[in-house]
Structure 1
Amino acid sequence: MKISRQNAEHYIWGEHCDGWHLVKNKDLSIIHERMPPNTAEVKHYHEKSRQFFFVLSGTITIEVNGNIMNIDKHEGIEVPPLVPHQVFNQSKDDAEFLVISQPPSKGDRILLDFHDEKENC
């Protein structure tokens, strides 16, 4: 069966961001996400999950282990387990990207509690 945003399981995370489960099983997760301008997730890490972020459109800013970089359309970055990271959309346009997690990251996210950071997505 073909999968796309039109027929994938959809969810809203934070207040304004979207996710579509393209692959959702016990071994692998592939999610198509959309972040509107000026949104951010909470800084966190995963104990077991290795993730790969691949930008489909727009630009995301990602902090990985204290290093901040922009990831543009058709670029990606791998984030190993136990490495703190945070994704932002600091642009004026929506950003759409894939988040590939192995094993799936559900229940594996450890939030880093900083008073000035919050998920506003």
Structure 2
Amino acid sequence: MKISKANAPHYIWADQCDGWHLVQQPELSVIHERMPPHTAEVRHYHEQARQLFFVLTGTAELEVDGELHTLGPQEGCEVPPGVPHQMKNVSSGDVEFLVVSHPQTRGDRVEAPPLAEPKRD
């Protein structure tokens, strides 16, 4: 079946960010997400899931285990299981990106304490 943002299951997170489930299987999750300017997810980690964050449009900051990565269009970063991370949009425009998780993250998320100052890459 053909999938797109137009027909994928949609949800809202952090009050104003969008997610569309492109693939939602126990062994694999692919989500297209949109973060408006100056939004961030809560810093967390996954006990089992390995993730890939891949930016489609805009510029995002992804903190991974204390190191801050600036990701522009067509750039991504892999996050292994057990590693704290936080996606942020500190820009003045929307950021759209893919989050690919193996296995899916349902019931696998653990909140992590915030960092005072991450290292920049």
Q: Give me the TM-score of the superposition, normalised by structure 2.
A: 0.92
Indicate the residue corresponding to 1:90 in structure 2. Answer: 90
Matched, 1:55 2:55: yes
Indicate the residue corresponding to 2:99 in structure 1. Answer: 99
Pairing 1:1-121 to 2, within 5 Å after superposition: 1-114=1-114
CA RMSD in angstroms comes to 1.1
Offset, 1:102: 0.2
Q: Measure the CA separation in 1 of the matches of 2:60 and 2:106.
A: 22
Instruction: Find the residue that maps to 1:81 and give its secondary structure.
Output: coil
For structure 2, which runs of at least 5 residues remain unmatched after alignment? 117-121
Q: Measure the CA separation in 2 of the matches of 1:70 and 1:100.
A: 18
Q: Give percent identity, aligned residues only.
A: 58
Q: Measure the CA separation in 2 of the matches of 1:79 and 1:30.
A: 15
Instruction: Find the residue that maps to 1:62 and give its secondary structure.
Output: strand
For structure 1, which runs of at least 5 residues remain unmatched after alignment? 117-121
Q: Measure the CA separation in 1 of the matches of 2:40 and 2:13.
A: 11
Offset, 1:29: 0.1
The code of the aligned residue for 1:64 comes to V
